[in-house]
Structure 1
Amino acid sequence: MSDQRQGLHKGTGVILKRDISPEGNINLLCLLREKGPIWVSLPGGAKGKVRLGGSTEPMIWGEFSLHRSRSRDYLKEVEVKQDFWKLRSMPEALMTSFRWFRLLGDVLLWRQPVDEVLPVLYWSMELLESGSDPIGVDLRFTWRLLNALGIAPSMKNCDYCGADISCGVWRDNGFVCVNCGDGDKKLDLSISILWIFSPQSAIRGKKLSLEARNSILSVKPLLVENFKLLS
């Protein structure tokens, strides 16, 4: 459980979402280290009463100075560490990032620290900004997020018998070998395994062929099914 004491405090992390009320108040959904997802408020922020400018945009990573009252947290200052400015001009990569932000807002519990998720998100965004194929990076992010939450399927071993797999069958929220999944649709997992487990440097700026993209797109929806295990 994150610290609930009132008063001034700081947190490092990222802005996932920004809402502006009819009164001109800004509300930010932030994912912060040791605090988890929290909403912070900036009264009058959209009317120029508080000059924080672009530091209240989604995708901003930084250190957030906050004041906690009985009912909410208020934003006092942001020290921007990374703005991913180049990524904002890359349409497919940008949309991929925003899908991740919506997903995190949906599956993570409010004020429950999930520090393992922050590096998964940061380095996935770094890959997108480097020009890596968004389809491959999206798969990598999805599996690594599931792994951080403890619900990722094994990509290398059969869930039933433990045999090594590079071609598998989806069954019971995991992959099984072709022998254990006899008769069901087989999927080539080799490209997906490469993108999930390769070092960051090996896939930075790397593009996928149409065939490789289609291979990954056949695997990714199956992984997404495991988010239902959180409900």
Structure 2
Amino acid sequence: MLEKVEGIVLRTNDYGETNKIVTMFTHEKGKKAAVARGAKKTNSRLSGVTQPFTHGFFLIQGGRGLGTMQQGEAFSSMRRIREDLTKTAYAAYIVELTDKTTEDGEANPHLFHLLQKSLDYINEGVDPAIVTNIFEMKMLSQAGMHPEMSACAVCGETEGKFGFSIRENGLICHRCFERDPHFLPLTPAAIRLLRLFYFFDLERLGKIDVKEATKKELRAAISMYYDEYVGLYLKSRRFLEQMEQFDHAFNGKEQRNDD
């Protein structure tokens, strides 16, 4: 059985001296793995199309289980991502999060489109930190998490000062802060963006410019929620955190020198 799928390469693993096992997230079949014979050879016709983040068409021989990749044609190699360490770090986290929260063979065209658009935006130069925050917020439902983002999770009020509460699973207003002494205070800008990222259509993303201080708030809230409710340990997340810490320290030093 030969089938053609549209997919994005999530990861590859060496298989013997010259082969790769390529794990893709496909539009038609969800997550699917296939052996790409000879793909480790630099002159192989499968070498280029089996690079991580590549979006393309793939011909797979075999039914269920591990098939064999016969051919591939790239729509986009995501070259700009692979040439930039920062973009690579964010993209690697996005694909690993997709990999760890999905099962083989479960079709999810909506998730495929979300993944594709997110990588496209990063490749095109949109702020990768913000694209990643949007992806994380939209992936919560994939992980079975549904925080209350439209109103206070306790009293239902939509106006007032808000913070983020792990205990109450979402936003809480100033009237209900006492319900969770450990709530995370957030500025109105951070609250507005968290709501926006959770609800809006990614296709509508235009030019977006977020202050570094607000980015830190977004990262703190989203990371706290994922640590508590999703509970995934991702190597790419750890590397990203280390890189962000270095960037913040470097930028702070540069600012002090300017002063």
* Both proteins in one fold, TM over 0.5: yes
Structure-1 separation of matches of 2:64 and 2:105: 15
Per-residue deviation, 1:90: 2.6
- Structure 2 contact 164–221 (Cα < 8 Å) conserved: no
Structure-2 separation of matches of 1:184 and 1:45: 51
Name the structure 2 match of 1:3: none
Task: Choose the corresponding residue for 1:168, options 163, 170, 174.
Answer: 163
Structure 2 alignment gaps of length 5 or more: 233-259
The 3 A distance-change label for structure 1 pair 69 and 216 is closer
Give the letter for the 1:139 counterpart.
N
Greater helix content: 2
Per-residue deviation, 1:148: 4.5
Listed one character per residue, the Cα deviations across residues 17-67 of structure 1 (whole Å, up to 9, x for unaligned) are: 011224221110011123111111012322468522311111111111111
Task: Choose the corresponding residue for 2:175, options 170, 175, 179.
Answer: 179
Give the letter for the 1:226 counterpart.
Y
User: In the alignment, is residue 80 of structure 1 matched against residue 83 of structure 2?
Assistant: no
Aligned 1:21-170 pairs, distance under 5 A = 21-47=15-41, 50-68=44-62, 72-164=66-158, 167-170=162-165
Structure 1 alignment gaps of length 5 or more: 1-6
- TM-score, scaled relative to structure 1: 0.83
Structure-1 separation of matches of 2:106 and 2:204: 33
Q: Which has the higher contact order (CA 8 A, sep 6+)?
A: 1
Per-residue deviation, 1:195: 4.7
Structure-1 separation of matches of 2:154 and 2:67: 47
Give the letter for the 2:163 counterpart.
G
Per-residue deviation, 1:13: 1.7
Aligned residues: 223
- Structure 2 contact 133–218 (Cα < 8 Å) conserved: yes
- Structure 1 contact 137–195 (Cα < 8 Å) conserved: no
Structure-2 separation of matches of 1:211 and 1:71: 47
Listed one character per residue, the Cα deviations across residues 78-136 of structure 1 (whole Å, up to 9, x for unaligned) are: 12112222222232121111011112221211222222211111111222223232222
Query: Which segments of structure 1 move beyond 6 Å, counting only runs of 4 or more?
Result: none
- TM-score, scaled relative to structure 2: 0.75
SS at match of 1:144: helix
- Structure 1 contact 132–203 (Cα < 8 Å) conserved: no
- Structure 1 contact 140–196 (Cα < 8 Å) conserved: yes
Name the structure 2 match of 1:227: 230
Give the letter for the 2:172 counterpart.
V
Q: Percent identity?
A: 21
Give the letter for the 1:111 counterpart.
G
Over the aligned positions, Cα root-mean-square deviation in angstroms equals 2.6
Give the letter for the 2:3 counterpart.
H
- Structure 1 contact 36–112 (Cα < 8 Å) conserved: yes
